[in-house]
Structure 1
Amino acid sequence: MFKLFGRTKTNDVFRARSPERDRRSDALRVASIAETIDLALQACRAEHAGLGRRLSDVLARAAMTVGNDADEYLDREPANTALQNVFSFEIANGERRLRELEANIHRFETLKATVVASFPEHSEVLATRP
């Protein structure tokens, strides 16, 4: 009767995997999650650094088009005014994106800390991660 419910032959004995194999499997899963978080962190940090450099460059160029006289905005050349408007728009977008990236970096760091705290038995695998 029980033979109908089993997928193995009646003379086979049930055997679970060894605890060591279970531990290795779990460690690989945890390491996979940690690696994915690390890759996302690296991508965010790289984008943040690159955007920060480009934004600094645009700020320097925008400062040159503003001029340094108190009434510069009154007699500024139309081409410089148009360029200043473009710079202002792009600077605002760049600063917005930098804030988003900083928030994402913080969130990914929090996720990483949560993984480390949630799986203390796999600290040796997580310690090798940056």
Structure 2
Amino acid sequence: MFKLFTRKKPDAMFRARAPERDHRSDALRIASISDSIEDALQASRTEHAGLERRLNDVLARAAMTLGNDADEYLDREPANTELQNVFSFEIANGERRLRDLETNIRHFEALKAALEASFPHHKNAIATNR
């Protein structure tokens, strides 16, 4: 049993990896996390921009069906009233999603900042994603 602890062969001795190899492995892991955060951030920004454009378009179309007379709502055609109700529902959903995306973007940016603060010695691995 004690022979296991008293090996004489140098090749059977414990050897740790080289520090450069450890640093490289850590940098790859950190870069992977940084890539994921950056991908999520870019996807959220792209979705936000597209939704904002579509929402502005719907707002313009809704304004056209609304009319500009003070008593327009009294003699509005039923089809326009129904369309206005649909627009109102979709606009509310779009605005809710925009708020959600803005929150997500702030959170992803905070994750990115936390990653940079947590691993200051790996700034090169994180910076390759910008």
TM-score of the superposed pair, with normalisation by structure 2? 0.93
- Partner of residue 127, structure 2: 127
- Partner of residue 45, structure 2: 45
Runs of 4+ more than 6 Å apart: none
- Partner of residue 81, structure 2: 81
- Residues 97/10 of structure 1: CA separation in 2 closer, same or farther (3 Å cut): farther
CA contact (8 A) 1:27 1:125 kept: yes
Letter in 2 for 1:45: R
**1:42-89 Cα deviation digits (max 9, x unpaired):** 110011011001001100100000000000000000000000000000
SS in 2 for 1:33: helix
C-alpha separation in 1, matches of 2:77 and 2:123: 63
Long gaps (5+) in structure 2: none
SS in 2 for 1:74: coil
TM-score of the superposed pair, with normalisation by structure 1? 0.93
Aligned length: 127
Instruction: Using the TM superposition, give the Cα deviation of residue 90 of structure 1 relative to its aligned residue in structure 2, in angstroms.
Output: 0.2
SS in 1 for 2:74: coil
CA contact (8 A) 1:3 1:10 kept: no
- Partner of residue 20, structure 1: 20
SS in 1 for 2:72: coil
SS in 2 for 1:76: coil
- Residues 3/89 of structure 1: CA separation in 2 closer, same or farther (3 Å cut): farther
Letter in 2 for 1:70: A
Q: CA RMSD in A?
A: 1.5
Long gaps (5+) in structure 1: none
